[in-house]
Structures are given as C-alpha cells and as structure tokens.
C-alpha cells in the first residue's frame, strides 16, 4: 500500500553536488527507507557560503549530473517509491546561497508543525549555531541528520532528529582530486565526456 504523503514526508536537501556521487545516491535511498521521505527536493547551491570559489563544474553542469544520478538511483533502487525534484531556485536567484533564505522561499509549501525538514550530515551539526540567520533556522527547520558517527552532540539549540545511516565512503573532494570510481555510471560517463575533475 503506497505511503500517504504529508508535508512530514517531504524533505529538502541542499548541497554543492560538485559532483554528485554514489554517497548522495545512497542517501536518497536512506531518506526513503529510514526516514519515510516520499518527496525529496534536491537544491544545488549556486555559490556556497562555505565553499566560495571552489567549483570546477558550472551550476548547469552540476544540475545535469544530478539528473543523471537520479536515473542511476532509480535503477539501483527500483522498489523505492521516492519522488525526487531538482529545484533550480538557488541558481535562478544567483549569488551566495544561504539556507535560511531558501527555507523562507519553500516554507509555506512544505512546513508542517511549523517546520521544514532539511537533510544534513553529522559533520554539519557542530556548525549549525554559526550558520547565517541561525535563530530563524532554529525556529523553522527540523534537521534530519543521517549519522555515521553515532551520537553527535548538538549544542546549537536547533531541532535535530538523528537517523542512523549506513556508511558509504564517497566524497566530492576526492572525486575532484581524481577518484572517479565514486561516481554512478551515467555521471562517470558525463564527467569523462566533458573532461571534468582532471588535474
């Protein structure tokens, strides 16, 4: 029987996705399987506040790779009933991307119980209190933290739900350094054809 979608079944996932890799593909599955998410809105940033000047791939290229990764995801996990939307919101807005501004733009559509679900990794938790407009985020966001480290101390005051996640070793920085084996098949082909992430 299909899951009835409510706003609690919807989550946002932001990131540079430079590039999207198998760890992200696995996270899509984890969001569905372990958090009950049935609609995932993936939002590639235009310019990350934390990673300014670090993109070897353009916004359009990163969006194209995300689309290819979603095709691979549906092949890897054909039984998942997860609808994934790639939002171009931050690219169309341009400039530095702040999570608080993105949440404001999506709040009316996706908030339930006063908060929007936003997926993060456990490495993010120690920094939450220092994010731009942190007080707004504390009041309006429910952070779904997929943790590989076990119990992570949350001193930010933010609403964080910890979800135990299987370890999948992949990182965009290692791909940019030349380890293309972390890419899904269609993304790997795109990277090869467009000569991306080469020293």
pLDDT of residue 150: 65
**What DSSP state is assigned to residue 4?**
P
Q: At residue 147, does pLDDT exceed 90?
A: no
Contacts of 113 (CB under 8 A, 6+ apart): 8, 142
Q: What is the distance in angstroms between the CA of the first residue and the CA of the last residue of the chain?
A: 49
Mean pLDDT within 29-56: 82
Contacts of 184 (CB under 8 A, 6+ apart): 20, 21, 22, 25, 68, 69, 72, 73, 76
Q: At residue 134, does pLDDT exceed 50?
A: yes
The domain spans of the chain are: 7-193
Residue for token pair 């984890």: 30
- CATH top class, domain 7-193: alpha beta
Residues in the chain: 199
In terms of phi and psi (left: phi > 0; alpha: psi -120 to 50; beta: otherwise), the region of 178 is: left
Tell me which of 90-94, 105-109, 122-126, 183-187 is least confident.
122-126
Q: Which residues lie across from 143 on neighbouring strands?
A: 118, 160
> To which H or E segment does residue 72 belong?
helix 59-76
- Return mean pLDDT, the chain: 89
SS3 57: coil
Q: Is the four-CA dihedral 108, 112, 116, 119 of positive or negative sign?
A: negative
Q: What does pTM read for this prediction?
A: 0.90
150 vs 139, higher pLDDT: 139
Please give the C-alpha separations between residue 4 and each of 1, 112, 167, in angstroms, as whole numbers: 9, 15, 29
């Amino acid at each position: 029987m299909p899951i009835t979608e409510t706003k609690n079944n919807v989550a946002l996932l932001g990131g540079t996705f430079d590039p999207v890799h198998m760890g992200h593909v696995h996270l899509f599955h984890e969001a569905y399987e372990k958090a009950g998410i049935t609609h995932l809105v993936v939002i590639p940033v235009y310019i990350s506040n934390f990673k300014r000047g670090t993109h070897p791939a353009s916004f359009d290229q990163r969006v194209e790779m995300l689309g290819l990764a979603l095709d691979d995801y549906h092949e890897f996990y054909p039984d998942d009933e997860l609808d994934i939307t790639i939002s171009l919101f931050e690219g169309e807005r341009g400039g530095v991307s702040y999570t608080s501004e993105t949440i404001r733009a999506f709040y009316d559509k996706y908030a339930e119980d006063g908060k929007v679900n936003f997926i993060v990794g456990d490495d993010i938790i120690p920094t939450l209190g220092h994010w731009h407009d942190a007080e707004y985020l504390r009041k309006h966001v429910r952070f779904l933290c997929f943790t590989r480290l076990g119990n992570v101390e949350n001193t930010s005051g933010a609403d964080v739900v910890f979800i135990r996640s299987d370890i999948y070793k992949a990182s965009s920085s290692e791909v940019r350094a030349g380890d293309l084996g972390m890419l899904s098949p269609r993304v790997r082909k795109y990277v090869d054809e467009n000569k991306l992430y080469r020293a």
